[in-house]
Structure 1
Amino acid sequence: MIKDFFEKPVNEKENEDKEFVFDGLEVSKDRKNMRHFHKYPVIYLNFKSNNSKEDDNSSIINFLKTEISSVFNYYKKRIDFNKLSKIQQEEWNKIEQKSDGVILQNTIKFLCTCLKEFYKRNCIILIDEYNKIFSEKLKSESTFGTIQTFFSDTFKGNDYLHFGIVTGCLDIGLNELNSGANNFTKCSLLKDNYFSDCYGFTEDELKNVLSNFNISDSKEKSDDIEDGIKERLKKNMVDILVFLI
């Protein structure tokens, strides 16, 4: 949804296909939000499909190269590739073809540089399930250094970055980056001072959920949840789902 909201369509059909998704939603009712609608190049990486063994460092690097190659292939179809300089085209093709000698750490920063020439805007970078490429065994391997520099060059030393979002199911890896990409603002279901009003259930929504499970009148079971809602409008989804299960 974040990608679809911010990413600039390449043609009218794509614009129409994505635009209706947000019709009637709260985000579309705020004019300040809509100033950013369909305006940016969005680089999206999802590490969910990484099935490399934790101790197989070469497989993890190859997986990263494959995912990054896919992003370059995606954007080659969305820009006038021939308008890039010869040097840029050669570097782009090396990354897309996963050629030997490609410096993995600089790839996304390089892509941001190229896209800025076409979109005249800095990039938004979204990385989903980042924790799938981290493991305890990587900490003592050169592979961890490669991943550390990849995140650092992508998010910390990137003048062509508008903002980035990194999501994961487990809080691992990023805490170990030290002087690398250490400029993250951490948000979680248990502690979030920025977006807690964007997810979870309101009191009315919770009552509807309980009603659907035929336990809306079970005051004894729902007291803890109701008390929590009185203190804050939003309630952690995990608490409610665990209660319902």
Structure 2
Amino acid sequence: MAKVVGIGKQRFDKIIENDCFYIDKTMFIKEWWENQDDVTLITRPRRFGKTLNMDMLKCFFSVEYKDRGELFEGLDIWKEKKYREIQGTYPVIFMSFAGIKSHTFRDAKNDMVAIINETYKSHAYLLESDILSEAEKNFFKKLDEYSKDINANKNISSETIYRAINNLSCFLNRYYKKNVIILLDEYDTPMQEAYVNGYWDEIVAFTRSFFNYTFKTNPYLERAIMTGITRVSKESIFSDLNNLLVVTTTSEQYEIDFGFTEEEVFLALDKYELSEKKQSVKEWYDGFTFGNKNDIYNPWSILNFIKVRKFGSYWADSSSNGLVNKLVKTGSPNLKKTMEILIEGGVIEKRIDEQIVYNQLEKRENAVWSLLLASGYLRVVKIRYEGDFRKRYYTLKLTNKEVEQMFEIMIEEWFDNGSNMTGDFIEAMLAGDLYAMNSYMNDIALDTFSSFDVAGKEESRIRPEDLASCYDCKGVANGLSLNDSSNLYAMTRKSSRFYHGFVLGLMVDKREDYIIKSNKESGFGRYDVMMIPRDTENSNLPGLILEFKVINHSMEKSLEETVKSALQQIEEKKYDTELLKAGVKKENIRHYGFAFEGKKVLIGTDE
């Protein structure tokens, strides 16, 4: 009889004790131990068994489980006599940062104190021994007091927190006469939250010092493993760790220790009488590649499919995907165009830097693709090497059907707020109903724009002429270049990309009636958006020119003046030229100036 499939179980001992479905990954213990690396960082996408494997290591090595060898009986590691002898013989410190999802640095620091306190409490038996001084015993108690009253945390110095795990390692070494194994799961969750919520610099400085004391200047450390989704750049938090081995998704070590191989998945499908579903399961959930090993499946989706026996986006739906959503939504027109290529099943070629620098995600588009690859949303099709320095170019595509569906739904939701406001806006624009246009656009802005989307200097001005992109006949953005010498880009990158991309996104439903272009030359400059009717004789399809500007308070007193400036630019630069050449009559050309100030929008026309 097939074993019960338990969803969400991350404790190794509970899975074994309850005889739940488990794919044997215990040889990871031997591989890691024999590699003899002081500190190992292993990055894998979420829901790939990182936490379960870390708990497995704890159950195997920790003195807490010294009489629990039966947990491993029948598993591969128990066939190794040498390893049977070291099971349950090391003091182990186990922590997880998965729950540190704070909106402020102060809260993140408090959460870390709470985690350290729980770690200390798991070794409270030390208080009953004679190996601690009174001052050391008092620290146990004070840490607990601080954690119960977050307002008291201001009394804990950062230096004390930095040294806390180092000190605990010392206490355990005294008690057991043996160095400790430290396991830190989801080390990078605070990094991601800090980037999204705006306290990156503070968390980096804090974490760097904490890691230095915990992993480098810790004389009581035997071995350590950290897991996470991304490899945060060495310069950010690992600058002091010269004893760190980093294993990413492209590394050849531990290729099959996280995730399920195709052989393991197909055997499980046979066992649960789902053999006829193998090909569909492959289309939905295959596609991950670790090192040189292809056809790795996400365990979360496989377990859910076996239990529910229905296809669905289990892995993609198991998180809010908030960071990915924001990066794509607020990205350049070129990034959006590239995403459409991927969603339609195409491939792209990009340089990848596996060291993720979070504070460069908005500046360097390749950093976004690096993050998407590390997070499991993209897979490597092939690698091309170029030049004497062997630069690597990765051919990438969306991982599988589950990921494709996630992005399709994500993009649909951007323009679906439970109403038909976006369609109403376009119809009002074609009809020349300025009042309705302003009403709809401001409603859309309030419902859709966030402070993250429109962040930027107040004095910044959208200058799409500094950007170069074009919407082809399908309405797809197809190219973006930046004037690297322009300081303006640094000020306006968020607002210009967002407003430009957002309005263009509203237009795509009119692809059958219009050729939609952006930032093409016409007359004496570059217009922002032009809609050229495919039937130039149809008076119900006017030719449209749209110019966007963000208010510049040093030059303009109101949105009305900004609108006037936009319309004046259309006239002075003679943007009508391309429409006239296309056969649109002068009287059927309409100009619109868009002025933005945060979530406020004003649209005007020169008619």
Q: Shorter chain as normaliser: what TM range? A: 0.7 to 0.9
Deviations 1:188-219, CA, capped at 9 Å, x for gaps: 3x323332243444564344356525145x59
1:119 corresponds to: 176
Structure 1 equivalent of residue 113 of structure 2: 65
Residues 36 and 174 of structure 1, relative CA distance in 2, 3 Å threshold: farther
Q: 1:95 aligns with which of 135, 138, 143?
A: 143
1:64-114, Cα deviation, whole Å (9 max, x unpaired): 001101111110136634431223223333334336234110000000001
Structure 1 pair 108/40, CA: closer, same or farther in 2 (3 Å)?
A: same
Aligned counterpart for 1:29 among listed residues 55, 79, 92: 79
Asked if 1:5 corresponds to 2:44, the answer is: no
| Secondary structure, aligned partner of 2:188 | helix
Q: CA deviation at 1:161?
A: 0.5
Instruction: Provide the rounded CA distance (Å) in 1 between the counterparts of 2:205 and 2:72.
Output: 40
Counterpart of 2:94 in 1: which secondary structure? strand
Pair 1:178–1:71, CA change in 2 (3 A) = closer
Report the CA distance shift for 1:175/1:27 in structure 2 as closer, same or farther (over 3 A). Answer: farther
Q: Tell me how large the CA RMSD over aligned residues is.
A: 3.2
Partner of 1:166: 226
Q: CA, structure 1 residues 31+233, in 2 after alignment: closer, same or farther (shift >3 Å)?
A: farther
Query: What is the CA–CA distance in structure 1 between the aligned matches of 2:145 and 2:400, rounded to whole Å?
Result: 49
Equivalenced residues, count: 228
- Matched to 1:154, the amino acid is T
**Ranges in structure 2 where 5+ consecutive residues have no aligned partner:** 1-55, 147-152, 303-398, 403-607
| Residues 13-162 of structure 1: pairs in structure 2 closer than 5 A | 15-16=66-67, 18-53=68-103, 56-77=104-125, 80-98=128-146, 100-102=155-157, 103-134=160-191, 135-136=194-195, 137-141=198-202, 143-162=203-222
SS in 1 for 2:240: coil
For 1:164 and 1:132, how far apart are their aligned partners in 2?
18
SS at match of 2:122: helix
In structure 2, do the counterparts of structure 1 residues 173 and 44 end up closer, same or farther at CA, with 3 Å as the change threshold?
farther
**Pair 1:203–1:49, CA change in 2 (3 A):** closer
Q: Cα–Cα, structure 1 residues 235 and 119, in superposed 2: closer, same or farther, change >3 Å?
A: farther
Selected match of 2:251 from 186, 189, 192: 192
Higher strand share: 2
Q: Distance in 1 between matches of 2:268 and 2:69?
A: 29
CA gap of 1:151–1:33, structure 2 versus 1, over 3 A, is same
Instruction: Assess if the C-alpha contact under 8 Å between 1:112 and 1:123 holds in 2.
Output: yes
**Between Structure 1 and Structure 2, whose CA radius of gyration is higher?**
2
Q: How far apart, in 1, do the equivalents of 2:262 and 2:188 lie?
A: 33
Separation in structure 2 between the aligned mates of residue 163 and residue 59 of structure 1, nearest angstrom: 30
**Partner amino acid, structure 1, of 2:210:** F
Contact 2:131 2:174 in 1 (8 A): no
In structure 2, what residue type is equivalent to 1:122? N
Confirm or deny: 8 A CA contact 2:182 2:225 kept in the other structure.
yes
Contact map agreement 2:183 2:226 (CA 8 A) in 1:
yes
Partner residue in 2 for 1:237: 297
Q: Distance in 2 between matches of 1:244 and 1:21?
A: 37
- 1:96-134 Cα deviation digits (max 9, x unpaired): 433623411000000000110111111111111111211
Taking a change above 3 Å as real, the CA distance of residues 58 and 115 of structure 1, as seen in their structure-2 partners, is same
Bigger shift: residues 173-182 or 154-163: 173-182
Alpha-carbon distance in structure 2 between the residues aligned to 1:50 and 1:147: 13
Kindly state the Cα deviation for residue 180 of structure 1 after the two structures are TM-superposed. 2.4
Which stretch shows the higher mean deviation, 106-115 or 233-242? Answer: 233-242
TM-score of the superposed pair, with normalisation by structure 1 = 0.78
Letter matched to residue 179 of structure 1? S
In structure 2, C-alpha distance between the alignment counterparts of 1:139 and 1:202, rounded to whole Å: 37
Bigger relative contact order, structure 1 or 2 (CA pairs below 8 A, ≥6 apart): 1
| Structure 1: tracts of 5 or more residues without a match | none
Deviations 1:37-65 (A, max 9, x none): 10111111111122311xx1100100000
Offset at residue 24 of structure 1 (A)? 0.9
Give the counterpart letter for 2:71 in structure 1.
Answer: V
Higher percent of residues as helix? 1
Check the 8 A contact 1:43/1:126 in 2, yes or no: yes
| Distance in 1 separating the partners of 2:143 and 2:234 | 25
Q: For residues 16-53 of structure 1, what are the alpha-carbon distances to aligned partners after superposition, in whole Å with 9 as ceiling and x for unaligned?
A: 5x332211111111122223210111111111122311
d(CA) in 2 for partners of 1:198, 1:179: 28
- Per mean C-alpha deviation after superposition, the further-off stretch among 60-69 and 168-177 is 168-177
Q: Provide the identity percentage.
A: 24
